[in-house]
Amino acid sequence: MLRFIGKRLWHGGLTLAALVTLTFFVMRLAPGGPFSRNRKISPEVQANIEAAFHLDEPLWMQFGRFVWGVLRWDLGPSTKHRDYSVNDLIASGLPYSLTIGFWAIVIAALVGIALGMAGALRRNSVPDYLAGTVGVVGIAVPIFVIGPLFQAFFSLRLGWFPVGGVNDGARSLILPVIVLALPNIAYISRLTRTSMIETLRENHVRTARAKGVGWRRVLTSHVLTGALLPVIAYLGPATAAIITGSILIETMFAVPGIGRHFVDAALNRDYPLVMGITLLYGGLLILFNIGTDVIRAILDPRIRNER
């Protein structure tokens, strides 16, 4: 098992290195730079600013500087947000995104799996149709429609939660968490239902029933593992995506997370911030993928024995 994890980590590191290198150079290929503005600045000032950020150096030196910085856990100063380093920006935004994302994925997993299982076990029953409806609505209706609707109803009409911001403690995070969880509840419940129905049809489940060990035991020790494997595979990347923040959610609910930096940094050609965000998202994605691989390998011996 340790060898398995070691190998996955090694591959993950390689992937991350490739991702970061590619991002670094592709970003430089795009026309424009952090300080090319419509506003006219004198060439001397421009040169001074660029020298301050080492943008006058050859590309390979800048890349070396970036790699050296990463190794020292320093991503450099942001070119857009003056007086802030990329480390500061991520450190200030990540806790909000992490909190919202964590609860969203926990709720999505629990509710989604429960709905999916209920649907699979009682096919074409009321809970199944209910889960199906929630699923279709959750997948089809975009967040930017559900979000404002929830704000209008739960915040403005009922006054249960604040419309936005993070000044109200946990209460202010409830709406963003729910809105972020909804599409995932929908997707996870569909996935669970399909995979569970498939597993219930498998021959080894029939063998278990033939052993007469009781329906409950058939479910817990013969159906559940197989039914949840695809769900776990989905949860890995989904968790990485969700906890690195959603720009829509954070904009809608005025949450100072890091989701908004994803788009802003690229638009502003804020090179250090783009690299920081790439590193963070790529790293998390790879880590969670390794995590799901490990869990799947624990549950399924056939994955464990792959080479």
Partner 1 sequence: MGCVTPLTQMTAEPLLSLQDLTVRFRLPQGETVAVDGVSLDLAPGEVLGIVGESGSGKSQILYALMGLLASNGRAGGRALFQGQDLLALTEAQLDRVRGQDISMIFQDPMTSLNPYTRVVDQLAEGLIVHKGLSRADARAEGVRMLDRVRIPDAARRARLYPHEFSGGMRQRVMIAMALLARPKLLLADEPTTALDVTIQAQVLDLMAELGRETGTAIVLVTHDLGVVARLCDRVAVLYGGRVMEEAKAEALFDTPSHPYTRGLLAAMPRLESPLTPRLGTIPGTPRSGGGDLPGCPFAARCTERLDHCTTTRPVLQSTAPDRRSACHLIEAAT
Per CB under 8 A, 48 contacts partner 1: no
Q: How far is the CB of 5 from partner 1 (least distance, A)?
A: 20
**Cβ count within 10 A of residue 298:** 12
- Residue of 52, 56, 63, 68 whose CA lies nearest to 25: 63
Helix, strand, or coil here: 242? helix
- Residue of 209, 206, 212, 189 whose CA lies nearest to 137: 189
Q: How far is the CB of 123 from partner 1 (least distance, A)?
A: 9
Per CB under 8 A, 36 contacts partner 1: no
Helix, strand, or coil here: 5? helix
Decide if 250 contacts 260 (C-beta within 8 A): yes
Per CB under 8 A, 57 contacts partner 1: no
Stretch that binds partner 1, among 28-36, 126-134, 206-214, 234-242 (CB under 8 A): 206-214
Question: What single DSSP character describes residue 153?
Answer: I
Considering only 47, 67, 232, 299, the residue that binds partner 1 (CB under 8 A) is 299
Q: How far is the CB of 217 from partner 1 (least distance, A)?
A: 7
Place of tokens 């980590």: 9
Q: Which of residues 84-113 bind partner 1 (CB under 8 A)?
A: none
Q: How far is the CB of 192 from partner 1 (least distance, A)?
A: 17
For partner 1 (CB under 8 A), the number of binding residues is: 23
> CB within 8 A of 17, min separation 6: which ones?
none
Question: Binding mask 211-240 vs partner 1 (x if CB under 8 A, - otherwise)?
Answer: xxxxx-x---xx--xx--------------
Annotate 168-185 with three-state secondary structure.
Answer: CCCHHHHHHHHHHHHHHH
Q: Which is nearer to partner 1, 224 or 248 (CB)?
A: 224
Q: Which is nearer to partner 1, 169 or 301 (CB)?
A: 301
Stretch that binds partner 1, among 97-105, 154-162, 266-274, 293-301 (CB under 8 A): 293-301
Question: Which two tokens mark 204?
Answer: 């080894």
Considering only 26, 71, 156, 210, the residue that binds partner 1 (CB under 8 A) is 210
Per CB under 8 A, 198 contacts partner 1: no
> CB within 8 A of 192, min separation 6: which ones?
112, 113, 115, 116, 117, 119, 120, 227, 228, 231
Task: Please give the residue ranges that form the binding site for partner 1 (CB under 8 A).
Answer: 202-204, 206-215, 217, 221-222, 225-226, 299-302, 305
